[in-house]
Amino acid sequence: MSLGVLVAIPAAAEEKEPTAQAKAAARSHADEGWNLYNAGRYEEAIEAFREAEAKVHAPTFLLMMARANEKLGQMLEARAVYKRIVEEKLAANATPAFVQAQASARGSWPC
């Protein structure tokens, strides 16, 4: 699964549309994070997802950060990220991936 396609629409209506360059960078970091996560390199995955999130906000990136924190046994960090996702007001036109990420976070929080 590639998370890169999940960055097309900002999460909140008041956010500006990210530039193509920011989207490409976020996609690259997210793909790297996904590969690292699947390889069990959770600390590095968190950093890659953090870099992706810094370029383009996406609840999907945050969800993977929370899951990686859980894998590391960092439950307080995971819980804080899940809470952030759950409490975010998604735009009416949010992508299904963003809505699903929030639903997954809601099912995991409080962990």
Structure tokens, 39? 């390889």
Give the pLDDT of residue 47.
98
Whole-model pTM: value is 0.82
Give the pLDDT of residue 58.
96
pLDDT single digits (tens) 25-43: 999 999 999 999 999 999 9
Single-letter amino acid, residue 90:
L
Residue ranges in the chain whose pLDDT is less than 70: 1-15, 109-111
Q: Could you say which of 3.40.50.300, 3.30.365.10, 1.25.40.10, 3.40.50.720 is the CATH number of the domain covering 18-108? A: 1.25.40.10
Decide if 52 contacts 29 (C-beta within 8 A).
Answer: yes
Q: Which of 10, 42, 37, 40 is nearest to 26 (CA)?
A: 10
SS3 call for 57: coil
Give the integer Cα–Cα distance in Å for 19 and 56: 9
Give the integer Cα–Cα distance in Å for 6 and 80: 22
Give the pLDDT of residue 34.
98
What is the torsional sign of CA 70, 3, 34, 62?
Answer: negative
Give the pLDDT of residue 52.
98
Give the integer Cα–Cα distance in Å for 85 and 78: 11
